[in-house]
Amino acid sequence: MLRPSPLVDQAAQHLREEIAAGRYPVGTKLPGETTLAQTLGVGRSTVREALRALAGAGLLQARQGAGVFVIATEAAEEWSARLRRAAVADVYEVRMLVEVQAARLAAERRRPADLEALKAALADRRAASAGDDAAFVDADIALHAAVVAAARNPVLTDLFAEFVPALRQGLIDLVDLLKLRAGDPNHGDAHTRGWSPRSRSSTGRRPAASCRRSWPRRSGRCRNCRRRPLGSPPMMADRKHGAPAPPTDTTVRSADWDSKDLSGEQHRRVAFVDVDLTEAVSRGAEFFECTFRNCRFNASTHEESGFINCTFTRTSFFDATFSRCKFVGSMFDGSTYDLMKVSGGDWSFVGLPGADLRNATFADVRMREADLAGARFAGAKLRGVDLSGAWLSKADLSRCDLRGSDLTSLDPVTCEIAGAIIDPVQAITIAANLGLSVRE
């Protein structure tokens, strides 16, 4: 028999333990309220409240006219706790989807008071550029919260608010890691110049229709939207194939860096032109928003180095090796990659459209939302590569070793996969992408 207080909590805990111990397996119908009340030594109302609590925790389900059934042996994790332990990038992707819908609704539903709030939030963000990263991130989040509020959907507002605690520190860390405000304390403000929170976009079309027609990928930003959330990694939507690279401050031309040790060096917004980096080595080097034109990385070796938001034009990577390096947001144009080997590291949001990677090897690399449209991987190795959200339209993956890679973004209809080597799990994924139902 249970102790007098608190009876509901004790009854719920007792039933929870019974379920966890296997006395009531998943799918089992629990005894009726009267039987449980006699077993626990409590009233039926206490049992009813305990069952309601366990149903709210995701352990039980009441079925009309049938009774109460066990549907899980462990309580469902609270949403806020799930967000706290989730990867920032994963939370960020969902947040972007929420904001796109919110912006569309805000354009249709905003009121004069919302416009004033948006103008004030934008002014506060610009004023916060004089402060530290934390203050700037808080002001940026407040601007986006004002957009969501203008959508006048309380569910969207609450959902966005849930994301803020999980994102705030991650954004602050990202701003510091990528040095996003170095040289530009008001990072991203260029996307808001000339912006007015009115009901129509600069194209004259209502943003709702504009966003629907021009949304190029499952995530990222609309080609017509001039505002991108703070901290979002550089994406191909921002730097289209063939578009000018970010401006550079200095130029290194025709330098002979053959076999040079670049370990620990830092280069920001440097243009490297006709530089020979053959057999160069680096460990922990950082290149931020640099451009490489007609350069040679042949037989070079790089470990834990960063090439963030860089541009590589007509550059040779013959037999180059990159271990645990970061190329986030970098763009490649007219370069060659024969025998290039990449292991580990983060190549998310890179632009490799049409690249000839037939003799390259990628292993355990993160390539989320990479632009690989039209890329040629025939016969290449992509083992354990995270391709979630990658743009693979018209890519040639024939005879490619894809085992262990994330193929959820792969559309077998729009790319070539004949002869590709895959594992059983990937086969099911591809079948699902084709609309097939796989059963035993």
- Comparing 195 with 204, the larger pLDDT belongs to 195
As a residue count, the chain comes to: 440
Query: Which DSSP helix (H) or strand (E) runs through 333?
Result: strand 331-333
The tokens for 2 are: 């249970």
Asked if 176 and 184 touch (Cβ cutoff 8 Å), the reply is: no
Question: How confident is residue 85, by pLDDT bands cut at 50, 70 and 90?
Answer: low
According to DSSP, residue 67 is labeled E
Residue 322 in contact with residue 302, Cβ under 8 Å? yes
Predicted local distance difference test score (pLDDT) of residue 306: 94
For residue 23, what is the DSSP state?
S
Give the β-pairing of 60-63 and 67-70.
antiparallel
pLDDT of residue 291: 95
Looking at per-residue confidence, does 189 or 206 come out higher?
189
For residues 294 and 119, what is the distance between their CA atoms, to the nearest angstrom?
45
Digit-coded pLDDT (tens) for 291-310: 999 999 999 999 999 999 99
- Whose tokens are 């790089």? That residue is 302
Among the residue ranges 19-23, 51-55, 152-156, 171-175, the one predicted with the least confidence is: 171-175
pLDDT at residue 301 in the model: 96
What's the rounded mean pLDDT across residues 98-121? 88
With 0.75 as the threshold, say if the pTM is over it. Answer: no
Phi, psi of 181 (to 5 degrees): -100, 0
pLDDT above 80 (res 192): no
pLDDT score of 241 more than 60? no
The residue-averaged pLDDT of 111-132 equals: 91
Q: What DSSP designation does 380 have?
A: -
DSSP reduced 3-state for 292: strand
Cα end-to-end distance, the chain, whole Å: 47
- In this structure, are residues 30 and 70 in contact, taking their beta carbons and an 8 Å threshold? yes
Mean pLDDT of the chain: 81
User: Residue 203: pLDDT band by 50, 70, 90 thresholds?
Assistant: very low
Tokens of 71: 């549907």
Instruction: Identify the weakest region by mean pLDDT among 36-50, 203-217, 296-310, 322-336.
Output: 203-217
Secondary structure E strands in 155-206: none
* CA trace torsion 395, 300, 365, 182 (10° rounding): -100
Angle at 392 between CA 387 and CA 395, to 5 degrees: 125
**CA pair distance 175, 88, nearest whole angstrom:** 13
Task: Kindly report, residue by residue over 136-182, the tens digit of the pLDDT.
Answer: 889 988 998 999 999 999 888 888 888 777 777 767 776 776 566 77
Q: Given this model, what pLDDT does residue 161 score?
A: 84
C-alpha to C-alpha distance for 134 and 409, rounded to whole angstroms: 35
Domains and CATH numbers, the chain: 7-70 (1.10.10.10), 80-191+206-214 (1.20.120.530), 235-440 (2.160.20.80)
pLDDT of 108 reads: 86
Phi, psi of 18 (to 5 degrees): -65, -40
In angstroms, the CA 273 to CA 252 distance is: 6
Task: Check if the beta carbon of residue 231 is closer than 8 Å to that of residue 175.
Answer: yes
pLDDT of 233 higher than 60: no
Go through 160-195 and write b for each residue having 16 or more CB atoms within 10 A of its CB, e for each that does not.
bebbbebbeebbbebbeebbbbeeeeebbeeebeee
Does a cis peptide bond (omega within 30 degrees of 0) precede residue 25? no
Model confidence at 207: pLDDT above 70? no
